[in-house]
Chains A and B, each alone.
Chain A
Amino acid sequence: MANAFVAAFEILSFGAIIVLIVLGLGIIASMMGIFNFAQGEFVLLGAYITYLAYAKGLPVWAGMVAAPFVVGALGFVLEALIIRRFYAAPIVAMLGTYALGLIIREAVRGLIGGFYLTVPEPIGGSIDIGTIHISAWRFTIIVITLLVMAGCYLLLSRTSFGLRMRATLENPSLARASGISTPLMYGATFAFGSALAGLAGALIVPVFSLYADLGLRFLIQGFVAVMVGGVGSFIGPVAGAGVIGTLSAALPWVMAPVVADVLVFVLAIVFIKFRPQGLIAGKGV
């Protein structure tokens, strides 16, 4: 019973991490139609900023708070300078963002060297429930993920900013005719997606430690999750991330990890092939 509970917690916490990473990716893919290959590097940057704050002697949580803002600002600048030119061509956008990601990744690699740098958990220790111990930080990640998810949902569905964002997605020319500055909305959306990636990076760095390929590790899982969930809505990618994260964490408990690892991807691709619109099709939030 205790074991089952620990397993469930592990699965849940990994699922939450994937959801956190996919949130930004999904928003950019759904709202702008761009599969951002640099998203993994935004995660990496968030992690790096947290590490930097820690190395400078600041508390870890200060870095975690700063990371989304810094990465979001960078995303805004990059969108205005580079990403903006790619909207018409999705494949070119992939390649361009890949090049961008390459630059960021290698720059960070140059800064940190080939090391695995650890950052302590801001909330250490464990939560004890009877005889069961679960990591307090991982539990915090789950809580923050839920809060961020709820926040994003409310932002998109309840605020006028969210309404304008969705209007821009659905019909850019009508949105422009209605007086919405679509370039600004695209910039804001991209910045928002980047900020979420930065936040994800900042939160997961105590769990996975910092190394240059940190972002790359989650990028493909993230893409698959977005495709499984369905592009075009906010809920779709989140649902996909939940499924992929849960599967990747749960399958190794019942079969050889190597097989499980590959099986997740195979299942996902087969699923997308036969249901291209994803788990949750249709518009809405």
Chain B
Amino acid sequence: MPKVMGALKKAIPAEIGGEADAAMESSAAAGQAASGRKVLPIVEGVVLVAALLAPLVLQDYLTVFATRVIILALFALSFDLVWGYAGIMSFGQALFFGSAGYGVALLARDLDITNIFLVLPAGTIIGLTFALLLGGFLLLGRHPSSVIFVSLGTLTGSYAADRLARGWYYLGGQNGIPSIAPMTLGGYEFSEGPAFYYFVLGILVVVYLLCRFLVRSQFGLALAGLRENEQRIAFFGYKAQHLKAIIFTIGGAIAGLAGSLYAFHEGFVWPNMVGVVVSTQVVLYVLFGGSGTLIGAVIGTVIIEGVSFWLSDNYRDIWPIILGLLLLLVILFRPLGLISFLLGERERVGSFDAVRKEKRDAAS
């Protein structure tokens, strides 16, 4: 009976509404912060350990699948940075992912360049350049662009790229570019398997840490402000449009890195990779896991890809319907994604002056 009462007590504020819910969560999180317990590092640690151990327990073909998931998680990270932190709805993130994939595929096909120190930076730069051009065009200018314009502009860009890739013979048309040579490091060839997995995981961890540093910096604070209230940030004297363009470009660079890894891992690129399908897929990952937390993007990718892989044998036809329903439920009832079951609002937003606060606490 007391158990039931406890559950009821928990359920009631959640029923009342989002505000009470958030307040309850933030107070819970505050309590945790005071006692020095934070959920986020624990979640991150668990995910990292699981990722490190995965190839040891998984069969070979599953390791190959896990590698793909890690690469997609990297891609999801790029979208999360742009949408979750800066509030720019980039419905065309696949444009940077796919164009980098096509770029490195062409390098490998036409110029025989597969050296890892050339192709990965090349892919990153391709993603960065496209993001700089598109983002610069859409975001900068005398009048600030509306959110709708930016999201539809990126969507249209991605769609147009898809059509271009389908119709351009040099890019392989509908079939894309098949059988790309593997990446090389000196004499070593990266083929699918544990080595590739750990290599990609290493990249993900490094990029994750860089992003974490970025969003916890003063720059990240300005971004969070942008997301919450752009006008106020502009009144504070920040160049809101420039901040947006910068983070958009960084996101594009990460997407480019992910795209070039993806191209070499799969061994082929095809028009869908730049198009609307992949663009919306990455939106699903991030929304599902929880936008505005880096780990949420990773978790969302793992869950969606994992379940989709698991169900693909028996329930291939109804899985997209289930996915749509789940997504709708998450948007309606858990706008902060699955991660919000674990993470309080306060910890999600994060503390940006942790050092100063500790000093103050010590002084008093």
Contact = CB atoms under 8 A, between A and B. Distances in A.
A223 B320 contact: no
B202 to A, nearest CB: 33
Interface string A100-130: 1011011101100000000000000000000
Contacts of A268: 156
A98 B152 CA distance: 13
Contact of A110 (B167, B321, B335): B321
B287 interface: yes
Nearest to A106: B320
A94 interface: yes
Contact of A262 (B151, B163, B317): B163
Contacts of A99: 324-325, 327-328, 331
B165 to A, nearest CB: 10
Contacts of B335: 92
B283 interface: yes
B167 A276 contact: no
A220 B155 CA distance: 8
Nearest to B153: A269
B138 A94 contact: no
B137 interface: yes
Interface string B132-158: 000001100101011111011101110
B293 to A, nearest CB: 17
Contacts of B325: 99, 103
B interface bracket (residues with beta carbon within 8 Å of A): 35 or more
Nearest to B320: A106
B159 A92 contact: no
Contacts of B168: 258
A205 interface: no
Contacts of A109: 317, 320
Given A106-B320, A273-B141, A220 B159 contact: yes
Interface residues of A, number: 35
B323 interface: yes
Interface in B280-336: 280, 283, 287, 317-318, 320-321, 323-325, 327-328, 331-332, 335
Chain A interface SS verdict (over half): helix
Contacts of B91: 94
Interface string A256-284: 01100110011011001100100000000
B156 A220 contact: yes
A94 B287 CA distance: 13
B138 A273 contact: yes
A59 interface: no
A265 B321 contact: no
A82 B332 contact: yes
B89 interface: yes
Contacts of B166: 258
A143 B119 CA distance: 56
B146 A276 contact: yes
Nearest to B158: A220
A261 B163 contact: yes
Given A103-B325, A268-B156, A269-B157, A110 B138 contact: no
Given A82-B328, A95-B287, A269-B153, A90 B159 contact: no
Contact of B148 (A90, A98, A106, A107): A90
Contacts of B89: 91, 94
Interface of B: 89, 91, 137-138, 141, 143, 145-149, 151-153, 155-157, 159-160, 163-164, 166-168, 276, 280, 283, 287, 317-318, 320-321, 323-325, 327-328, 331-332, 335
In the A-B complex, list the 6 residue pairs whose CB atoms are closest, starting with the nearest: A258-B167, A102-B324, A103-B324, A106-B320, A99-B328, A99-B327
Interface of A: 35, 82, 85, 90-92, 94-96, 98-100, 102-103, 105-107, 109-110, 216, 220, 223-224, 227, 257-258, 261-262, 265-266, 268-269, 272-273, 276
8 contacts: A82-B328, A102-B320, A102-B323, A223-B155, A258-B164, A258-B166, A265-B156, A273-B138
Given A273-B141, A273-B153, 4 more contacts: A103-B321, A106-B318, A106-B324, A265-B157
